[in-house]
Amino acid sequence: SIKKLGSSALKAGAAYFGTRGLINAIVSSTEAFGIQEQAEKALEVALGRTSNMLLKQASALQKSTMFGDEAIIAQQAYVKSLGVSTDQTKEIIEASVDLAAAMGISLESAVMNTTKTLSGMQGELGEKLPAAFKELTAEQLKAGEGIKFIREQFRGTAEEEVGTLTGSLDQMTNTLGDTAEAIGEIFSPVVTLLAQALGNAAREAQELLKYQVQKICKKN
């Protein structure tokens, strides 16, 4: 009897954790898809339309660097929100991934500092980049010479970083992330409907509770 009980408990436990694992996988996948969807929507809002050119750039850079396409798309959206042209946005992103890899800073910081040069300011880069960068005038920076300098100075650094163990692991994570996003896209309509149904049920329960409380108060 004890053996049978143990076997039943084991099966029940396996079923429970298997179900929990499946639920967690679905939730994780839909969250990954949601992040990607939000990044693309932000880019669409900044552009006023969808840009296949920028989405293709993000996809290509994910394959050749350590950065995920959702992170790249988010930065593309930031740059576009500042009124920068699509072609120059591509140049900023390409320069920034190499700058981030070379200086060991976040992609967000690299993009922000690179974009800042278009206003004629060297910012933090003036303290960290070679003397030739410091010699660029405000007019040259506004004309995009700062971005050009960064691209030429650090070209290929992000791709070389992929050859390291950390880079390989990051690329594997990005690939798994794409798989999760694809799965999440499949489940997202179901999760959305479920969330709406639960929301409606919660509101109905609140209204019912409110009605019952008012009813009791009137009696008293």
Question: pLDDT tens, position by position, for the chain (220 residues)?
Answer: 556 655 665 566 566 556 566 556 556 656 666 666 666 677 776 766 667 889 899 989 988 888 888 899 999 999 999 999 999 999 999 999 999 999 999 999 999 999 999 999 998 898 899 999 999 999 999 999 999 999 999 999 988 877 665 666 666 666 655 665 565 556 556 556 656 665 676 677 677 777 676 767 676 6
Q: Which of 126, 147, 124, 148 is nearest to 135 (CA)?
A: 126
User: What's the count of helices (H) and strands (E) in the chain, helices before strands?
Assistant: 11, 0
| Separation CA 9–CA 17 (nearest Å) | 12
pTM listed for this prediction? 0.60
| Separation CA 84–CA 115 (nearest Å) | 9
